[in-house]
């Protein structure tokens, strides 16, 4: 299994329940064939430029391990979801999560 990172921006006019439902749906897609490592909700932020007539969006960063098929399925679902303004799925180096975990442990000390 490979390491992946995805960042997606949700529409700012969605309710909190709708946002949680979308985030859970994307987590389930990853959980079906992969392993969810971390979900980081950055919150509502201003976009650098207008996207689909929105100036703000709710950012979510997700790290997961899985096969290429899992990443492709997640990307497909992100693209067809009405609540998603922008999305990006990137494959990371094999030891990316190990380095991040070591850095977090160092910062805690």
Angle among Cα 33, 31, 76 to the nearest 5 degrees reads: 75
Tens-place pLDDT, residues 80-95: 999 999 999 999 987 7
The count of structural domains within the chain is 1
Tell me which residue range forms the domain holding 93: 2-108
Q: Which domain CATH number covers 29?
A: 3.30.70.60
Tens-place pLDDT, residues 24-71: 999 999 998 899 999 999 999 999 999 999 999 999 999 999 999 999
């Amino acid at each position: 299994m490979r390491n992946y990172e995805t960042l997606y921006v949700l529409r700012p006019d969605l309710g909190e329940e709708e946002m949680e439902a979308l985030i859970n749906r994307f987590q389930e897609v990853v959980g079906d064939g992969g392993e969810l490592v971390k979900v980081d909700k950055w919150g509502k932020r201003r976009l650098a430029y207008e996207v689909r007539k929105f100036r703000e969006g709710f950012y979510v960063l997700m790290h997961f391990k899985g096969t290429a098929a899992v990443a492709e399925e997640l990307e497909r679902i992100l693209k067809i979801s009405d609540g998603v303004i922008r999305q990006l799925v990137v494959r990371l180096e094999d030891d990316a999560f190990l380095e991040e975990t070591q850095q977090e442990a160092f910062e805690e000390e």
